[in-house]
Amino acid sequence: MKLLITGAAGFIGSNFSFFWRKAHPEDSLVLLDALTYAGNRHTIAPLLGKNVRFVQIDIADRDAVQALFAEENFDAVVNFAAESHVDRSITHPDVFLRSNVLGTQVLMDACRAYGGVRFHQVSTDEVYGDLPLDRPDLFFTEDTHLHTSSPYSASKAAADLLALAYFRTYGLPVTISRCSNNYGPYQFPEKLIPLMILKALEDKPLPVYGQGRNVRDWLHVEDHCRAIALVLLRGTPGEVYNVGGHNERDNLTVVKTILAQLGKPESLIAYVADRAGHDLRYAIDPAKMHAQLGWLPVTRFEDGIRQTVQWYVENRAWWQKILDGTYRQ
Ligand SMILES: NC(=O)c1ccc[n+]([C@@H]2O[C@H](COP(=O)([O-])OP(=O)(O)OC[C@H]3O[C@@H](n4cnc5c(N)ncnc54)[C@H](O)[C@@H]3O)[C@@H](O)[C@H]2O)c1
């Protein structure tokens, strides 16, 4: 099969590219990325070669996307390309709408124009808004109504609705997965876990929003990649699949776990003014993924976080290039 992976130089897209290459070495891959600040071509460089090529294209650039589809004969597209950082969406919502909504539309139009190419949209649990901290019995199911809090989540929800509309209106074979917070190697150090690891390694203050009580449902990126692969190969077009690990931790607990592993004092924690509109709790009910596709996460948080901290300790060369800006060369 010939697969187009967009956002392949980002965190989850690169992990998925490595994952797919290993699982399906016979497949041809086109790794697409606009190389925004979040894209890092060094990450995927080891993958390039026979049957795997990289193209620097903006998914919202209709001409460039159409030209790529005319040149290649894709069997499927997995769309990871997006602006992904909530804080940035609060200061610059426009770029989120362009990449996350229009970009998704441009890709789906190309899929339609070239024979109804199978399209998978990688989405987020943030489209459901948040849950109260004092109701641990509540979870997001695929039927929970969309109730977004940030320009980021609103742009992802818009793309999801557009994808479902392309299924219903044009019959485009679309699936959507909505996943909880990911962690693992190659995550850009603006996100909570790598940010805290790097600050701790450098004995700098660890900025924690509010009281650090916000709860996230953490999933190792490899478990997410396996889920996406299952949905792509065996999912039903027109369907949404929630992906999460029942691994809820509040931010302060996660930060303290990292400090303990690195042998750093909790006095490094610096509480800062809370994020505007900060969601309290996300919690996914992944029962459909389990019942219909047999998916279950395999990495326990305790193991995954230990491996991830160790990965950043051992891969200083990767993140040092980000801190000093040379990763963009
Ligand atoms: N990180 C998480 O915890 C998480 C959880 C659930 C869902 N998601 C979703 O997964 C996807 C990937 O997230 P991530 O954490 O890897 O993000 P990321 O920011 O690390 O990577 C995004 C990649 O997309 C590229 N990109 C951005 N705009 C583009 C455009 N217009 N054209 C082409 N490429 C573009 C960037 O250069 C970058 O390489 C996103 O759609 C995100 O909404 C992420």
Count of alpha carbons within 13 Å of 58, Cβ hemisphere only?
Answer: 13
Give the CATH number for residue 123.
3.40.50.720
- Write out the residue range of the structural domain in which residue 73 sits: 2-186+219-246+282-299
Instruction: Please provide residue 115's backbone torsions phi and psi, each rounded to the nearest 5 degrees.
Output: 95, 15
How many residues are there in the chain? 329
Atom of ligand 1 nearest to the CA of 126: 6
For a mutational test of ligand 1's pocket, the pick from 17, 19, 36, 160, i.e. the residue with the most ligand atoms closer than 8 A to its C-beta, is: 36
Tokens standing for residue 221: 């990126």
Active site residue 152: yes
Nearest-CA residue for ligand 1 atom 44 is 124
| Per-residue pLDDT of the chain in tens (329 residues, 90 and over written 9) | 999 999 999 999 999 999 999 999 999 999 999 999 999 999 999 999 999 999 999 999 999 999 999 999 999 999 999 999 999 999 999 999 999 999 999 999 999 999 999 999 999 999 999 999 999 999 999 999 999 999 999 999 999 999 999 999 999 999 999 999 999 999 999 999 999 999 999 999 999 999 999 999 999 999 999 999 999 999 999 999 999 989 999 999 999 999 999 999 999 999 999 999 898 999 999 999 999 999 999 999 999 999 999 999 999 999 999 999 999 98
Q: 149 lies in a domain?
A: yes
Q: 204 lies in a domain?
A: no
For the entire predicted model, the pTM comes to: 0.97
For a mutational test of ligand 1's pocket, the pick from 32, 57, 80, 241, i.e. the residue with the most ligand atoms closer than 8 A to its C-beta, is: 80
Q: 77 lies in a domain?
A: yes
Cβ of residue 139 lying under 6 Å from some atom of ligand 1: no
Active site residue 217: no
Query: What are the pLDDT digits (tens) for 90-118?
Result: 999 999 999 999 999 999 999 999 999 99
Q: 320 lies in a domain?
A: no
For a mutational test of ligand 1's pocket, the pick from 4, 12, 150, 191, i.e. the residue with the most ligand atoms closer than 8 A to its C-beta, is: 12
Q: 275 lies in a domain?
A: no
How far apart CA 248 and CA 260 sit, in angstroms, is 19
Q: 263 lies in a domain?
A: no
The count of structural domains within the chain is 1
pLDDT score recorded for residue 324: 96
Nearest-CA residue for ligand 1 atom 22 is 10
Q: 65 lies in a domain?
A: yes
Q: 85 lies in a domain?
A: yes
Active site residue 125: yes
Instruction: Please provide residue 178's backbone torsions phi and psi, each rounded to the nearest 5 degrees.
Output: -115, 110
Nearest-CA residue for ligand 1 atom 32 is 58
Nearest C-alpha neighbor of 40 from the set 306, 322, 324: 322
